[in-house]
Chain A
Amino acid sequence: MARTLAMFTDTSLCIGCRACQVACKQWNELPMEEPEWTGSYQNHAHFTDKTYRLVRFIEKPQANGELQWLLMSDVCKHCAQAGCLDACPTGAIHRTEYGTVNINQDVCNGCRYCVSSCPFGVVSFNHDTGRANKCTFCNDRIHNGLGPACAKTCPTESIQFGFRDELAAKAEKRVAKLKEMGYAGAQLYGADTNGPLGGLNAFFLLLDRPSTYNLPEKPLLPQRNVFVDSVLAIGAALVVGVGAMVSFRERGGKGDGDA
């Protein structure tokens, strides 16, 4: 496997211009969607099969009654332990040699299990093709020595592309710097490979708690439940089986006159 690639989105640098959102649409030839009223400047409200990059406009109430903008360009996290990948029964969702998670459109059969298995609500069902879609990490570009379109176009370097280990080190320094500048809430999300989901290959620098950005504080791999739930189901099978055995057992061929 080649050295793992990553995207580091530093939300402290985001100005909400949505150039990433547009660049993503253009490079990936994603059609437009009807805009919707979200109650803020954010559009669209959620990831869809046609929106892989999405600038979130979070309005956080301040102590003085005013609102503070928290801008965050959100994207598929390309989790090191990816729920969508583990859920996929066809093998369409796979890990590339660069560590990114991609959906092979020819193999996807539209079962939609991945959609319900993403802890971030990223993977979306495309009703036109009957298959699942999400950010490809610009798979075609990275295989040709280019960074993803969103990172390439970002005018403030809020989105950076590079080798994961180098970016993570850079991110650590940036957090320390921001804390020095008085941003007490500055923190990394998904940079730690020992953290939740084995780290995210698209990780973030946030200025507040993850929940403020509608991100799970501690994302969990959905498949963690399979073992325990299966054992409990086997236990239930034993109880049901014994119950049926007792009910059907022949008692000297005479029946027992019960019921």
Chain B
Amino acid sequence: MLKSPEWHLLIVWYFFLGGIAGGAYFTAAIADNFGGPRDRNVVRTGYILSLLMIGVCGMLLILDLGTPSRFMNMMGTFKFKDPMSIGAWMLGVFGLFSFVSSALSLVGGEERAGLRRRWSLVGILFGFFLASYTGVLLSATALPFWRDGRLMGALFLASGASTGMAAISLLLYLSGDSAGEGFKKVKRADRFAIVFEMVVLALFLVLLGSAAAPLTSGHLAPLFWGGLVALGLVIPLVLDLAGGLRVPAVVPAVLVLVGGFVLRYVIVMSHA
């Protein structure tokens, strides 16, 4: 009998918030480099959100070890083909990029914008890494379903993008900044990410075939179909496209975030 690593809610939260951290960072970096001055709120919100999230992520992982100081044991080696080892290091590297980007977006003004943009062009790679490696980490185990999903990393990346963008738009909305151009653009990018996530998820399930049973027909299936597919993907997309419904912009953003959490929850807990 194969054994479960007994990863529970702390890891679910880590996978979820790590996706937001990565997604928010690369969204901000793209807005910084390819957007205009009216996207400055998106840039700043994205960088700072990623910094806050990565801080929480570090704490979640350390808590999960039971004895916090043992986290340092991971810093004694670097294994290039081991997602867990690279991940532990990249958490620190990403934190550094996220910190400097946040600082440059708060102070330094426009004369430091060039440096901030170049810095984020490198950081963007770590953002993509952080959002996707947790999926690859799961698929590099011996456990059925986890090991069978070739698109696990791609799916986590797409979800990191959609949730990171949803989190930025939610924060902009809450801070009363939802009338601007930046908000409109981040919503547009999120719409694209949601559609892409749906495509990846469909391919993921098709490629898995019967191995997808823990998601599609087990005790987690109602949560998967209801919480992720319906509430987290289809409904927010429909609400977003059907502008005439007069639903506050906050609703689809919250739903996407719920969906992103449910995705990590059903996948991790299928081997709880």
Contact = CB atoms under 8 A, between A and B. Distances in A.
Interface of A: 45-46, 83, 86-92, 107-113, 115-121, 123-125, 130, 214, 220, 222-223, 225-226, 228-230, 232-237, 239-241, 243-250, 253, 255, 258-259
Contact of A110 (B36, B70, B137): B70
Contact of B84 (A87, A229, A255): A87
A130 B67 contact: yes
Given A226-B81, A236-B200, A241 B2 contact: no
Given A46-B1, A230-B153, A232-B154, A117 B141 contact: yes
A244 B30 contact: yes
Nearest to B2: A121
- Which one of B82, B142, B184 has the greatest number of beta carbons of chain A within 10 Å? B142
B136 A226 contact: yes
Interface of B: 1-7, 26-27, 30-31, 34-36, 38-39, 42, 64-67, 70-71, 73-74, 76-77, 79, 81-85, 87-88, 124, 128, 132-133, 135-137, 139-143, 146-147, 150-158, 161, 165, 181, 184-189, 192-193, 196, 200, 243, 271
A116 to B, nearest CB: 4
A110 B136 contact: no
23 contacts: A45-B1, A90-B76, A90-B77, A91-B76, A91-B77, A107-B73, A108-B73, A109-B65, A112-B5, A115-B3, A116-B146, A118-B3, A121-B3, A225-B140, A236-B196, A236-B200, A240-B192, A244-B27, A244-B192, A246-B192, A247-B185, A249-B34, A259-B184
B192 to A, nearest CB: 4
B188 A247 contact: yes
A237 B6 contact: no
State the majority secondary structure of interface residues on B.
helix
Contacts of A118: 2-3, 142
Given A116-B141, A243-B189, A237 B84 contact: no
Nearest to A92: B73
A89 B85 contact: yes
A165 B145 CA distance: 37
B79 A89 contact: yes
Given A229-B135, A244-B161, 8 more contacts: A92-B73, A112-B6, A113-B5, A118-B2, A120-B2, A225-B139, A226-B83, A245-B34
Given A121-B1, A241-B30, A89 B157 contact: no
B6 A225 contact: no
Contacts of A111: 64-65, 74, 84
Given A125-B6, A241-B26, A243-B192, A233 B143 contact: no
B217 to A, nearest CB: 22
Given A233-B132, A247-B189, A115 B5 contact: yes
Contacts of B141: 87, 113, 116-117, 222
Which 9 residue pairs of A and B lie closest in terms of their CB atoms, listed nearest first? Answer: A233-B153, A109-B70, A236-B154, A247-B189, A243-B192, A248-B35, A89-B85, A112-B5, A233-B132
A115 B147 contact: no
Nearest to A114: B5
A109 B88 CA distance: 13
